[in-house]
Amino acid sequence: MSKAETSAISPTRAENYPEWYQAVVRAADLAENSPVRGCMVIKPWGYAIWELIQRQLDDRIKATGHENAYFPLFIPLSFLQKEAEHVEGFAKECAVVTHHRLEMRDGRLVPAAELEEPLVVRPTSETVIGDSFARWVQSYRDLPLLINQWANVVRWEMRPRLFLRTAEFLWQEGHTAHATEAEAREETLKMLEVYRSFAEDVLALPVVPGEKPENERFPGAVNTYSIEAMMQDGKALQAGTSHYLGQNFSRAAGIEFLDSDGQRKFAYTTSWGVSTRLIGGVVMTHADDDGLRLPPRIAPKHAVVLPVIPKPEQESVVLAYADEVAARLSAVCYDGQSVRVSVDRRDLRGGEKNWQWVKKGAPLRLEVGPRDVEGRTVALYRRDRAPREKEFVPLEKLVADMPGLLQEIQDNLFRQALEMRQSRTRTDIATLDEMREFFASGEQDGFVVAKWCGDVASVEVLEEMKVSIRNLPLAQSGTAGRCVLTGREATLDAVFAKAY
């Protein structure tokens, strides 16, 4: 019997990783394609995950002094024209509104009244937020200005994939203005660290924080920093970015202030963001051939109680006990919140119901039947173990152990992902021929950490391999060597990988 016949997801990771990913998203009931090409419908289970991501990240953002606001979805074309480099970087991805009314002609609705100025549907908000900042900032006393918004954006994606690349997606974008370069640079790295700690502590995603090379910078940025995660196929996923924009956008938008020395100066600005792509990263990092595996901190349900009722006359007793189990566990705190638990009372066969929760990635499944009622026990299944592996646990012990049990699952998922990344990271590749051989081997990909001379022109040779420099890790070794691309003397450590 093949692996595909014994696992819940087909094809398996080994057979077809891209198709396996799509199958997991469908089986976990996270999202589906919408009638609009490139867009998605985020279903309740998927959106509940996003809400938990949003809530916890929002708390961390606010803890650093930022406030939430909201800015328009539509951006006048003239705003983008003020920042030429920014426009060039996003021009091919922009959706543009040119009319404001529909009329019926020959039985068909057609655009009628043309706008005096086209409106760009928000691809990112630097220009429109800069317009507000120019009004809000008049004096050094108005700085720093620390703003975040949760919104949707549109980037016309030609090769969509649920969560990873869609024409419309959800995100947060932070925008700040500062009186000095030093403050703005400190802000940029501070928020990168917020993303790193959030990815690792909440999503259980090991990431590499570092600076992007010049050719990978955000359009208009002076410096761009990212956190890069490795997926189970060895490819990189850019999980978040933080940009030091210098005075580029403040000059274009006119964000000026009167400093304490009486001189008018342009502010130094930053921007940073993460998106629903994080959910795709969680899937590709933690899921297995039976479906999704969710870190408890973003699981909509920490535990699901599954009543097993062999005979109709046992129903009331078993359901009453299931409710008691749920109530006892709901009174327990994990990670500062009540344990999220529910009883699945649907009229479905036990095996079908159980496997649905396996595929959805619930950290714990708790079966209770007549014998459990008598013995005051539960049959415990952990999603970080084999789906059919179970143990019988006294209810009192389960209640006492629940916080530690959930944290153990959270830690196990991070450890497994970190071990995977470490096993798939090569530090011994020293020449371009060796790199070509590694990425052309036909085996699963990985990260190559090697020396780079910093010459942006040298990265052109990577295009044939579909490889890029993901970032220059903040934790540099400080040793000298030979550039893996040019053979010249080099001191920079760079992460090379294929990427999503």
Question: 336-363 pLDDT, tens per residue?
Answer: 999 999 999 999 987 999 999 999 999 9
pTM of the model: 0.96
Over 90: is that where the pLDDT of 3 sits?
A: no
Q: How confident is the model at residue 148 (pLDDT cuts 50, 70, 90)?
A: very high
Q: Do the Cβ atoms of 344 and 366 come closer than 8 Å? A: no
Q: Whole-angstrom Cα distance, residue 188 to residue 182?
A: 10
* DSSP count for the chain of H helices, then E strands: 14, 29
Mean model confidence pLDDT for the chain: 95
Q: How confident is the model at residue 453 (pLDDT cuts 50, 70, 90)?
A: very high
The amino acid that residue 173 corresponds to is E
Q: How confident is the model over 2-10, as a mean pLDDT?
A: 68
Q: Whole-angstrom Cα distance, residue 451 to residue 429?
A: 9
Over 50: is that where the pLDDT of 172 sits?
A: yes
Higher pLDDT, 63 or 156: 63
What is the pLDDT, as a whole number, of residue 303?
Answer: 98
Q: Whole-angstrom Cα distance, residue 238 to residue 278?
A: 9
Q: How confident is the model at residue 4 (pLDDT cuts 50, 70, 90)?
A: very low
Max Cα–Cα distance, the chain, nearest Å: 85
Q: Do the Cβ atoms of 472 and 136 come closer than 8 Å? A: no
- Radius of gyration of the chain from its Cα atoms, rounded to whole angstroms: 26
Tokens 């062999």 belong to 310
What share of the chain has pLDDT > 90, as a percent? 93
**Range 4-32 burial, b when 16+ CB lie within 10 A, else e:** eeebbbbbbbeeebeebbebbbbbbebbe
Over 50: is that where the pLDDT of 1 sits?
A: no
Q: How confident is the model at residue 61 (pLDDT cuts 50, 70, 90)?
A: very high
Tokens 């530690």 belong to 404
What is the pLDDT, as a whole number, of residue 366?
Answer: 98
Question: 33-57 pLDDT, tens per residue?
Answer: 999 989 999 999 999 999 999 999 9
Tokens representing residue 181 in the block: 């370069």
Does the bond joining 11 to the residue before it have cis omega, within 30 degrees of 0?
yes
Q: Do the Cβ atoms of 271 and 243 come closer than 8 Å? A: yes
Among 342, 56, 301, 63, CA closest to 203? 56
Over 80: is that where the pLDDT of 376 sits?
A: yes
Q: How confident is the model over 210-215, as a mean pLDDT?
A: 97
Tell me the H-state helices in 331-453. Answer: 350-360, 370-375, 395-423, 432-439
For residue 441, how many other CB atoms are within 10 A of its CB?
9
What is the pLDDT, as a whole number, of residue 86?
Answer: 72
Q: Whole-angstrom Cα distance, residue 475 to residue 189?
A: 13
Question: 73-87 pLDDT, tens per residue?
Answer: 999 999 988 877 777
What is the pLDDT, as a whole number, of residue 90?
Answer: 79
Q: Whole-angstrom Cα distance, residue 54 to residue 348?
A: 33
Q: How confident is the model over 150-169, as a mean pLDDT?
A: 93
Q: How confident is the model over 308-318, as a mean pLDDT?
A: 96
Q: Whole-angstrom Cα distance, residue 309 to residue 343?
A: 13
For β-strands 145-154 and 168-178, DSSP reports them as antiparallel
> Please, what sign has the CA dihedral across residues 303, 304, 310, 316?
positive
What is the pLDDT, as a whole number, of residue 2?
Answer: 41
Across the strands, what pairs with 473? 210
Q: How confident is the model at residue 92 (pLDDT cuts 50, 70, 90)?
A: confident
Contacts of 308 (CB under 8 A, 6+ apart): 318, 350, 367, 368, 369, 370
What is the pLDDT, as a whole number, of residue 241?
Answer: 98
Q: Write out the E strands in 74-136.
A: 74-76, 95-99, 102-105, 108-111, 114-121
